[in-house]
Amino acid sequence: MNVLGIEGTAHTLGVGIVNGSGTVLANIIRSYPAEEGIHPREAANHHAANVVDSISEALGTAGLEHGEIDVVAFSQGPGLGPCLRTVATAARALSLRLKVPLVGVNHCIAHLEIGRLRTDARDPILLYVSGGNTQVIAHTRGRYRVFGETLDIGLGNMLDKFGRANGIPFPGGPVMEKRALKSSNYLQLPYSVKGMDVSFSGMLTAALNLDAPLEDKCFSIQETAFSMLTEVTERALAHTRKNEVLLGGGVVRNERLREMIGIMAKERGASAHVPEGEFCIDNGAMIAWTGYLMHGAGMTLPVRESHIRQNYRTDEVDILWKGPTKDF
Ligand code: AMP
Ligand code: MG
């Protein structure tokens, strides 16, 4: 069985093809260049302009004909309305044309499932840190539950906003990581962990108002924000008695964040897992693989019920497929 998955929740358009053995046959990623931040309508136009070619390219890479696709999956939410509607339209059209089932996939769950496929993690705590999302997710009682999340903006957005205000083009995170390496001068910034939740907007305001060298500010933002994430991830491990941490989302490309999570996991006797870069960022293969699992559990969508879900919550989805089995 071959499943074609289309990702398009934000600035990245992805088309992936995965087979039933979990082999990724293609993973085409085309990002809208969001130098000035993401304009939803323009990102959607980018996806519309590129989706047909990306599907052809994915089929070519996989060495498959259209007729060899058995299921079409798409990112149903959460995300930006215009982007979601564009890829949903493409997925519906393809599913009708090929006369194959359609599966709507929750984007955050797809990050977790591709991580389980690509690493040794079996029943992990997922620390998912991207532009728009920051969540700590784990499987308990038949669903992926959100144990903690940002109360305001995603960490990636915070880094990008700070970067933009300091003349760093989008995406700010990677440049700030390099700048941070040049400093070890920690400046106090608001450390906001509220229960299991985190908040970044106060830190952003404080950092923007600091009169200090950019290197020191980048270093201090990283140290503070990543410590907050490490704290809530550790608490989720303790609470669920799980012993694996999985990282996902664009921000986890950051070596310092990986290092902090790695040290915390090691001290607890837990393991840390990071998928390869193309599976950390938004991608079509994760939608295809989750679509494969969901299709196997009968979770397909009639086209008339395939509306997008801008605020689709991770914990709304019953895990009817063979997900992690251990429970606490
Ligand atoms: P995503 O939303 O998952 O596509 O991830 C994009 C976000 O990841 C942007 O906000 C980037 O600034 C951020 N990002 C990418 N690489 C790094 C890095 N090395 N360090 C920190 N943030 C990063
Ligand atoms: Mg994502």
Is residue 142 within 8 A of residue 316, CB to CB? The reply is: no
Instruction: Locate CATH 3.30.420.40 in the chain.
Output: 2-111+279-316, 122-274
Distance CA 59, CA 66 (A): 7
> From the CB of 130, is ligand 1 less than 6 Å away?
yes
In short, whether 160's Cβ falls inside 6 Å of ligand 1 is yes
**CATH no. of 2-111+279-316:** 3.30.420.40
Q: Is the pLDDT of residue 203 over 90?
A: yes
C-alpha span between 92 and 74 (Å, rounded):
9
Compute the average pLDDT of residues 82-98.
98
Does residue 123 line the site of ligand 1, with CB under 6 A? no
- 240-263 average pLDDT score: 97
Average pLDDT estimate for 221-242: 97
The reply to whether ligand 1 has any atom less than 6 angstroms from the CB of 131 is yes
Ligand 1 pocket mutation, candidates 47, 159, 162, criterion most atoms within 8 A of CB: 159
Q: 197 in ligand 1 pocket by Cβ < 6 Å?
A: no
pLDDT(254) > 90: yes
Q: Which ligand is nearest to the CA of 12?
A: 1
**Residues 29 and 11 sit within 8 Å (Cβ to Cβ):** no
- Quick: pLDDT tens for 260-305: 999 999 999 999 999 999 999 999 999 999 999 999 999 999 999 9
pLDDT tens sequence across 116-172: 999 999 999 999 999 989 999 999 999 999 999 999 999 999 999 999 999 998 899
Can you list the positions of beta strands (E) in the chain? 2-7, 12-19, 24-31, 71-77, 102-106, 125-129, 134-140, 143-149, 193-194, 197-198, 244-248, 271-273
Question: Which architecture characterizes domain 122-274 according to CATH?
Answer: 2-Layer Sandwich (3.30)
Residue 85 in this model has a pLDDT that exceeds 90: yes
Q: Which atom of ligand 1 is nearest to the CA of 157?
A: 10
